Structure 1
Amino acid sequence: MKSIKWGMIGCGDVTEVKSGPAFNKVPNSSLVAVMRRDGGKAKDYAARHGVPKWYDDAQQLMDDPEVNAIYIATPPAQHEAYSLMAFAAGKPVYVEKPMTLNADSAIRMKTAASTAGIRLCVAHYRRAQPLFLKIKSLLDDHEIGDIRLVQLKMFQPQDADIVAKSASNWRFDPLISGGGLFHDLAPHQLDLMVFFFGEWLSAAGLSLNQSGIGQADDLVTGQVLFKNGVVFNGSWCFSVSEQDKADLCEIIGTAGKISFQVFGQQIKLIKNGIDKVYDFSPLQHVQQPMIEKVTAYFLGQGENPCSAEEAILSMQLMDRFTARP
């Protein structure tokens, strides 16, 4: 292949700005077809974004000879089935986060891709953004010494505006999303921990529905011991007041501390009593740096920016944190 011609399955709000337009802004990449079961919405999306083809049947998109890679942007419950269809069609897959509903499903996807000899990449796109690459370089350069502890807080009200809006509240249906807002937001945060610190040794957590609204748990806590000795403590609550909203991650080392918002644009480095601030500009399309890396990987010009094996590590953490006794 000389270029990647993408077929996108799912045309929801997350694709309007975050990802969809970026496929045509990356070298050797173009979005040539979209699919949504509601044909009218697929046609409308294609018209608005200048996409040449649209389908209301996933198999027809898979069988399109011009399409040579698949981007899956549906709710998580459909990720595994569409991935298997793509592998059967011999086409590499870039799948949205969370990779799927749970770790068992993720392992099946990884095994199927490996058996078919097809490339699979997961859209943990913060790995490719300048802000988080800077944090990783600060850690790799031992700017705050040896890392001891990570503290993360994500507190949001029930009507949080931090997630992409959609016509239905599928994010709150565990059968479709895997859980509530935890399963929508925590994949970003936990994957960053895997990106920064590698494999983990042990993990445990607590999860419950404190508000009693809906079927999804709205409070989750988790602890992780990474193989390198770093300890992680995380708390997620999605039923706090507006005034108690929080998005904070603190990485504490023997010589200082790095603090940042996972959904923010700034890093603060505190060392020897001196604060150093790194500011980053918002990205127009947050997935564009990742799509560039995925395109290079599919063309054999780079490494996999987020493999199934890496994504499974964060899926397993989510399963551990939310497991019932």
Structure 2
Amino acid sequence: MKSINWGMIGCGDVTEVKSGPAFNKVPNSSLVAVMRRDAEKAEDYAKRHGVPKWYDDAQQLIDDPEVNAIYIATPPAQHEVYALMAFAAGKPVYVEKPMTLNAASAIRMKDAALNTGVKLSIAHYRRAQPMFLKIKSLLEDEEIGAIRLVQLKMLQPEDSNQIANSATNWRLDPAISGGGLFHDLAPHQLDLLVFFFGEWIYASGLSTNQSGTGLVDDLVTGQVWFKSGTIFNGTWCFTVSEQDKTDLCEIIGTTGKISFPVFGHQMTLTKGGVAKVYDFSPLAHVQQPMIEKVTAYFLGQTENPCSADEAILSMQLMDRFTAKS
């Protein structure tokens, strides 16, 4: 292949700005077809974004001879089945996070990709963004010494995300999402842990529905012991007051610490009582740096920017944190 002609399965909110337009802004990449089960909505998306073709059947899009790579942007419950269909057609897959509903499903996807010899990359796109690449560089350069502890808090009021908390939203149906807002937001955070610190040797957690409403847990805690010796403690709660809303991760080393919001644009390096602030401009399309890397990977120009093995590590953490027995 000299260029990637993407077929996109799923035309929901995540594709409107975060990913969809970026496929036509990356070298050797173009979005040539989209699919949504609602044909009218698929056509509307295609016309608004200048996409030549639209379908209401995933197999038809996958079989389109002009399409040579598949982007799966549906809710997690459909990721595995669509990925297997693409692998059977010999077309590489870029799949949204979380990779799928649970680690067992993720392992099946990985095995299918290996058995068919088809490439698979996961959309943990924050690992390609400038702020997180800077943090990784600081850690590798030992700017804060040996890493001892990572502390993360993600606290949100119940009404802080109108889209996520609407009564009909799929994120609140565990059969479709895997487990509520934790499964929607935590994959970004947990993948960054894997990106920064690699493999882990122990993980456990607690998960509960404190509010007693809905079908999903709204409080999750987790601990991880990484092979490097670093210990992680995380808390996610989606029923706090507005004044307690928090998005903070602190990486604490022997000579300083790095503090940052996972869903923000500013990080702080503190050493010897002196704080240095780094500001990063918001990206027009947050997935564009990752899509550029995935395109290059599919063209055989570079390594996989997020492999199934890496994504499985964060899927396993979510499973451990939310296990009920």
Q: 1:263 to 1:173 in 2, by over 3 A?
A: same
Cα deviation code 1:32-70 (max 9, x no counterpart): 000000000000000000000000000000100000000
> Is the CA contact 1:266–1:279 (under 8 Å) kept in the aligned structure 2?
yes
Other structure's SS at 2:304 match? coil
Q: Normalising by the residue count of structure 1, what TM-score does the alignment of the two structures yield? A: 0.99
For structure 1, the residue ranges without an aligned partner over 5 or more in a row are none
Three-state SS of the structure 1 residue aligned to 2:8 is strand
Look up the match of 1:111: 111
Q: List 4+ stretches of structure 1 deviating above 3 A.
A: 162-168
Output aligned runs, 1:120-269, within 5 Å: 120-161=120-161, 168-269=168-269
**Preserved contact between residue 120 and residue 308 of structure 1 (Cα < 8 Å):** yes
Report how far residue 161 of structure 1 moved: 2.5
**Alpha-carbon distance between aligned partners in 1 of 2:91 and 2:229, rounded to the nearest angstrom:** 39
Question: Contact conserved, 1:14 with 1:164, CA < 8 A, in 2?
Answer: no
Counterpart AA for 1:103: A
2:92 is aligned to 92
SS in 2 for 1:152: strand
Which residue of structure 2 aligns with residue 279 of structure 1?
279
Question: Once the two structures are superposed, what CA deviation does each residue of 1:227-251 show, in whole Å capped at 9, x if it has no partner?
Answer: 0000000000001111110000000
Contact 1:208 1:220 in 2 (8 A): yes
Counterpart secondary structure, 1:42: helix
| Contact 1:12 1:166 (8 Å CA) reproduced | no
Mapped to 1, the partners of 2:306 and 2:282 lie a distance apart of 22
In the TM superposition, residue 168 of structure 1 has moved relative to its aligned partner by: 3.3
Structure 2 equivalent of residue 79 of structure 1: 79
Partner of 1:10: 10
May I ask how many residue pairs the two structures share in their alignment? 325
Cα deviation code 1:7-39 (max 9, x no counterpart): 000000110000000000000000000000000
Residue identity matched to 1:206: L
Distance 2:111 2:137 in 1: 32
- In structure 1, give the amino acid aligned to 2:38: D
Shift of 1:132: 0.2
Is the counterpart of residue 23 in structure 1 residue 23 in structure 2? yes
Q: Check 1:161–1:149 CA distance in 2 against 1; reply closer, same or farther (3 A cut).
A: same
Task: Give the C-alpha shift of residue 324 in structure 1.
Answer: 0.3
Task: Tell me how far apart the structure 2 counterparts of residues 32 and 232 of structure 1 sit (CA, whole Å).
Answer: 42
Structure 1 residue 213: Cα displacement: 1.2
Secondary structure of the equivalent of 2:18? coil
Q: Give secondary structure in 2 for the equivalent of 1:16.
A: helix
Cα gap change, 1:165 to 1:54, in 2 (>3 Å) = farther
Whether contact under 8 Å (1:13, 1:164) holds in the other structure is no
Q: Residues 153 and 223 (structure 1 numbering): CA distance in 2 closer, same or farther, change over 3 Å?
A: same
